[in-house]
Amino acid sequence: MIANNLLSQTIVPLRTSDTGEDALSVMSDFYVKHLPIVNNTELLGLISEDDILDHDVEEAVGSYKLSINRPYVKSSDHLYEVLRLVSDYQLTTIPVVNNEKEYLGLISQEDLLRFFASIGSFKEPGSIIVLEMGKRDYSLAQLARIVESENSVILSSFITSTIDSTLIDVTLKINRPEIQRIIASFERFDLQVKASFQEAAYFDSLRDRYDSLMSYLNV
């Protein structure tokens, strides 16, 4: 998945002649706190809600001094690069440009959330297992062998870690609703099972929260 496939179909950029009041109105309509400023196809910068509130809202945004450098992704950049920049700059939207750095569109947090909610591993039935282990002990191949020995498959996985810790949490989505045998196998290999969630209880809750959020965003 690349940035070009995630472009928003609804949010338009600001022009230099738009006022701060115009920008705040757009931000309110789409529940975002950042918008790109564009001159024809040139990306001039990314304005934040705080930038606007620090200036006269009746002035044109083209006259504002922006607090954020020009963060952007190229249309060919991978989803992980999009997520990295959104996280690093704590953005609610990020501009997308082509190889000539011409503005193509933007990606919003809602676009990212919709994508992750629609991927196959989320929709597939199964369960969640969270393992805690040392960073040096992590081997996805070993974890996959243990799961496959119980006639199951890892549908997806991700790692959660902190800089000041030698431990990581490894979250696995397994394709089976019953995972007691898999948990027992992990424990036989001295792997610490930190948490587990049956799909019926866990994913119904996640879907309810997602549906509620989408309903809120579409108000």
Domain range 3-115, CATH class: alpha beta
Correct CATH for 123-202 of 3.30.70.260, 3.30.390.30, 3.30.110.70, 3.30.360.10: 3.30.70.260
Supply the pLDDT for residue 82.
Answer: 93
Secondary structure of residue 190 in the 3-state scheme: coil
Please check whether the two domains, 3-115 and 123-202, share a CATH topology. Answer: no
Domain positions in the chain: 3-115, 123-202
Supply the pLDDT for residue 68.
Answer: 75
Centre a 10 Å sphere on the Cβ of residue 98 and count the other Cβ atoms it contains.
Answer: 13
Shortest CA distance to 173 belongs to which of 192, 149, 147?
147
Q: Where are the alpha helices (DSSP H) in the chain?
A: 20-30, 49-53, 79-89, 109-118, 120-123, 140-148, 180-188, 199-217
pTM over 0.75: no
Per-residue pLDDT tens digits of the chain, which is 219 residues long: 899 999 998 999 999 999 999 999 999 999 999 999 999 999 999 999 999 999 999 999 999 888 777 799 999 999 989 999 999 999 999 999 999 999 999 999 988 988 877 775 666 778 999 999 999 999 999 999 999 999 999 998 989 988 888 999 999 999 998 899 999 999 999 999 999 987 655 555 666 666 676 676 665
